[in-house]
Structure 1
Amino acid sequence: MANTTSTTSLTSVTLEVADLAAARRFYTAFGVDSYISLRASEAHATGFRGFTLALTVSGPATVDSFFGAAVAAGATVLKPAAKSLWGYSGVVQAPDGTIWKIATSAKKDTGPATREVDQVVLLIGVESVKATKQFYVDRGLTVAKSFGGKYAEFAPGQSSPITLALYKRRALAKDLGVPVDGSGSHRVVLGSTADAVTDSDGFVWETAASRAATPS
Structure 2
Amino acid sequence: MTTSKSPTTIASLILEVPDPTAAEAFYAAFGVGDRVGVRAAEAPTAGFRGYTLSLVVSQPNIVDAFVGAALDGGATTLKPAKKGFWGYGGVVQAPDGAIWKVATSSKKNTGPATRQIDDVVLLLGVEDVKASRQFYVDRGLEVAKSFGRKYVEFAAPDSQVKLALYGRRALAKDAGVSPDGTGSHRIVVGREAAPFTDPDGFEWETTSA
Deviation at 1:157, TM superposition (A): 4.9
Which residue matches 1:40?
A: 40
Q: Which runs of 5+ in 2 are unaligned?
A: 1-5
Partner of 1:214: none
State the one-letter code of the partner of 1:178: V
Alignment coverage as a number of residue pairs: 204
In angstroms, what is the RMSD of aligned CA positions?
1.3
Q: Is contact 1:59-1:108 (8 Å) kept?
A: yes
Supply the distance in 1 between the matched residues of 2:160 and 2:112 (Cα, whole angstroms): 24
1:117 counterpart SS class? coil
CA contact under 8 A between 1:18 and 1:42: conserved in structure 2?
yes
- For 2:181, the aligned partner's letter is G
After superposition, the C-alpha distances for 1:125-178 in whole angstroms (9 at most, x for unaligned) are 0001110000000010111111111100111152x3100000000000001100
> Equivalent residue for 1:78?
78
1:209 CA displacement: 3.1
1:56-71 paired onto structure 2 within 5 Å: 56-71=56-71
**Counterpart Cα distance in 2 of 1:124 and 1:204:** 11
Cα distance in structure 2, aligned partners of 1:194 and 1:145? 24
Deviations 1:6-57 (A, max 9, x none): 9622111100000011001100110110001111001110000000110000
Structure 1 outlier segments of 4+, above 4 Å: none
Aligned to 1:213: none
Q: Within 5 Å, which residues of 2 pair with 1:177-216?
A: 177-209=176-208
Stretches of structure 1 that go unaligned for 5 or more consecutive residues are 1-5, 211-216
CA contact (8 A) 1:120 1:163 kept: yes
> In the aligned structure 2, how far is the partner of 1:82 from the partner of 1:49?
25
Residue pair 2:7, 2:191 contacting (<8 A) in 1 also: no
C-alpha separation between the residues in 2 aligned to 1:9 and 1:189?
14
SS of residue matched to 1:10: coil
AA aligned to 2:65 is: S
In the alignment, is the contact (CA less than 8 A) between 1:7 and 1:141 conserved in 2?
no
**For residue 9 of structure 2, what is the aligned residue in structure 1?**
9
Distance across 1 between alignment mates of 2:13 and 2:156:
13
* Contact persistence 1:71–1:77 (CA under 8 A): yes
